[in-house]
Structure 1
Amino acid sequence: MCTSIIFSPKDHYFGRNLDLEVSFGQQVVVTPRNYNFKFRKMPDMKKHFAMVGIALVADEYPLYFDAANEKGLGMAGLNYPDNFHAFEVEDGKDNISPFEFIPWVLGQCATVDEAKKLLEKINLVNINFSEKMQLSPLHWLIADKTGKSITVESDIDGLHVYDNPIGCLTNNPQFPKQLTNLDNYANLSPAMPENTFSKEINFNGYSRGLGSHNLPGGMDSESRFVRVAFNKFNAPKFDTEEENVDTYFHILHSVEQQKGLDEVAPGQFEYTIYSDGTNLDTGVFYYTTYTNKRITKVDMNKLDLDSDQMTVYPINDKITFDEEN
């Protein structure tokens, strides 16, 4: 399970938590403009926008979990079990396998509006990366540096593209149902609640934070959707990059999964393997991991973005301490 957001205090920060029970050896990957993206049913993309994100590199191909390009468009794939459906190849369509979807969009689109236009021709096809690496059931959040975002879901009745006014995505149920469920929490507030119960009863407000008393705290995707939306829309906004990046990670960490709380099989627990985010205005990428909450920074602008070779950085997940004495 996962959580993805676009947070827009001054600049625009896009990224996600990756929640799984196993790590796949993912790395930070910068794919420059002249890396040759090969597609199973579409022509090679030899020139494209550069992008940075976290990916599993297999056979010299970056299988991005999430990424953002140099133009300020970001895209993340999140688990969408039972609902996701991939189709057979269809003439007249851009037949793209889901594992190719992120580079296909980020390679040639600079904005959400351009992505929506491209999506009119997309057919997500049932082609696995390999016999050992089967397709994952996903849906996607796409956002740009205007703060605009959309949700893309491939269901059995076709591809759906939803405007996403919340700028958040988790997992099941389908996105319109997540929005409907949010209505149940319209009375949440960071302020102390007013007494609308009865004029005949006096309440003493025994604790701070009672306005958020009914904020769900579970690991499930509906609870995380409500919680991350509430926390995002009530987060402070600052003038400095350092403070806004720090706030962004506080938002994601507020819905992270601790080991031992979400059992997916006997003795196996899903947890937040990493949290990441890209400043879509500057192209600077940040991440933390489950075992290393110190923010690591990668600036793709410091690399040769006209190269044809990927740059790969191992994930920095070592537990460290700042020693005071």
Structure 2
Amino acid sequence: MCTAANYTAKDHYFGRNLDLEYSYREAVTVTPRNFPFEFRKVPGLQTHHAMVGMATVADGYPLYYDATNDKGLSMAGLNFPDNADYKPPSEGGTNVASFEFIPWVLGQFDSVAQVREALSDVRIVDTAFSEAFPPSPLHWIISDRNESITVEAVAEGLKVHENPIQVLTNNPTFDIQLFNINNFMNLSVDPPEPHFSKEIPFDVYSRGLGAVGLPGDLSSMSRFVKAAFTKVNSISGDSESEAISQFFHILGSVEQQRGCVRLGDKYEITIYSSCCNTDKGIYYYRTYENSQITGVDMHKEDLDGSELASYPLLKDQKILMQN
């Protein structure tokens, strides 16, 4: 499962945890403006916005998990099993396959407002990339500096939800996740005031008691609440170091540790956490084994070129010995 968030300090940041029990050899991938994006049912894009993000490159095609374009628009696909309902291609409308949805959006649009308007006739279709890569059940968070939306292809059709929390996890559907936040309106970063009874003396015996009841388990609904509480209350300094550190702490509040979620003979882990400075086009990440933050600057590539630039993840732990 996964968690994604949108965050603004001095600059704007977008990123996610990828939580899975296996890897598809993902790599930080920069797609320049003249890389030809061919789509299955809609016209391709011979020129488009440049983008940087995490992708599996298959047959020369970047299958993006999350990405940011050179206008600061960001998008991530998160696991949405049993709820994602992709349709067969139709005669009318705009038929976009799930694996090409991220480049189709980020290649053309500058803002969430533009995307919202364009989605009015979009149909997410059940076309597979290949036999090796069948359609993955996903829903998406699309963000810019000012707002976020969640897009879900469900049985009733394509749903576009306003996302004021600017956080996304997995099941259930986003409307239920957002309503569930109402159950935690009493949580606070401040020490609690006793309302239980005026007859009983209460002892505020620990810091953090204002957040008693904040979920700590690893389920998607609990991670949504935990990430939302952490994100909306987060405070960061203006420097790049302070901001990306704070963002990784937000994602760290809901990361998955090996051994805690068993799936047959495997365990789900946070394979990577990402944080993209969308203003500067710098994609930062760390992996499960390597807690050092590594960055890829899209603007150091030839963004007017036509060849992908791909950087395999640095997964070995980097330890600085001080003596």
Q: Is TM more than 0.5 here?
A: yes
> 2:314 — aligned with what?
316
Retained in 2: the 8 A contact 1:49–1:71?
A: yes
Letter in 2 for 1:177: I
Which range moved further: 272-281 or 71-80? 272-281
Q: How do residues 1-325 of structure 1 correspond to structure 2 at under 5 angstroms?
A: 1-146=1-146, 148-265=147-264, 267-325=265-323
What is the rounded CA distance, in whole Å, between the counterparts of 1:94 and 1:59 in structure 2? Answer: 25
Which range moved further: 185-194 or 26-35? 185-194
Q: SS in structure 1 opposite 2:302?
A: coil
Q: CA deviation at 1:121?
A: 2.3
Retained in 2: the 8 A contact 1:105–1:118?
A: no
What is the rounded CA distance, in whole Å, between the counterparts of 1:188 and 1:9 in structure 2? Answer: 23
What is the rounded CA distance, in whole Å, between the counterparts of 2:116 and 2:9 in structure 1? Answer: 24
- How does the TM-score come out when normalised to structure 1? 0.98
- How does the TM-score come out when normalised to structure 2? 0.98
Retained in 1: the 8 A contact 2:17–2:274?
A: yes
Q: SS in structure 2 opposite 1:107?
A: helix
What is the rounded CA distance, in whole Å, between the counterparts of 1:12 and 1:253 in structure 2? Answer: 19
Q: CA deviation at 1:13?
A: 0.6
In structure 2, the gaps of 5 or more residues are none
Q: SS in structure 1 opposite 2:176?
A: helix
What is the rounded CA distance, in whole Å, between the counterparts of 1:72 and 1:41 in structure 2? Answer: 27
Retained in 2: the 8 A contact 1:76–1:140?
A: yes
Retained in 1: the 8 A contact 2:291–2:318?
A: no
Letter in 2 for 1:121: D
Which range moved further: 129-138 or 62-71? 129-138
Q: CA deviation at 1:10?
A: 2.0
What is the rounded CA distance, in whole Å, between the counterparts of 1:43 and 1:229 in structure 2? Answer: 38
What is the rounded CA distance, in whole Å, between the counterparts of 1:57 and 1:104 in structure 2? Answer: 16
In structure 1, the gaps of 5 or more residues are none
C-alpha distance after superposition, 1:31-75 (max 9, x if no partner): 000000011112221000000000000000000000000000000
C-alpha distance after superposition, 1:80-100 (max 9, x if no partner): 000100101112211110000
What is the rounded CA distance, in whole Å, between the counterparts of 1:280 and 1:319 in structure 2? Answer: 27
C-alpha distance after superposition, 1:204-233 (max 9, x if no partner): 112211111211011100000000000011
C-alpha distance after superposition, 1:105-129 (max 9, x if no partner): 0000000001111111211111111
What is the rounded CA distance, in whole Å, between the counterparts of 2:239 and 2:281 in structure 1? Answer: 16
What is the rounded CA distance, in whole Å, between the counterparts of 2:163 and 2:318 in structure 1? Answer: 38
Q: SS in structure 2 opposite 1:230?
A: helix
Retained in 1: the 8 A contact 2:292–2:317?
A: no
Q: CA deviation at 1:302?
A: 1.3
What is the rounded CA distance, in whole Å, between the counterparts of 1:128 and 1:261 in structure 2? Answer: 32
C-alpha distance after superposition, 1:3-33 (max 9, x if no partner): 0000112211111000000011000000000
Q: CA deviation at 1:237?
A: 2.3
What is the rounded CA distance, in whole Å, between the counterparts of 1:263 and 1:202 in structure 2? Answer: 43
What is the rounded CA distance, in whole Å, between the counterparts of 1:296 and 1:179 in structure 2? Answer: 33
Letter in 2 for 1:233: V
Q: How many residues align?
A: 323
What is the rounded CA distance, in whole Å, between the counterparts of 2:119 and 2:102 in structure 1? Answer: 12
What is the rounded CA distance, in whole Å, between the counterparts of 2:252 and 2:38 in structure 1? Answer: 35
Retained in 2: the 8 A contact 1:149–1:163?
A: yes
RMSD: 0.8
Letter in 2 for 1:318: D
Q: CA deviation at 1:145?
A: 2.1
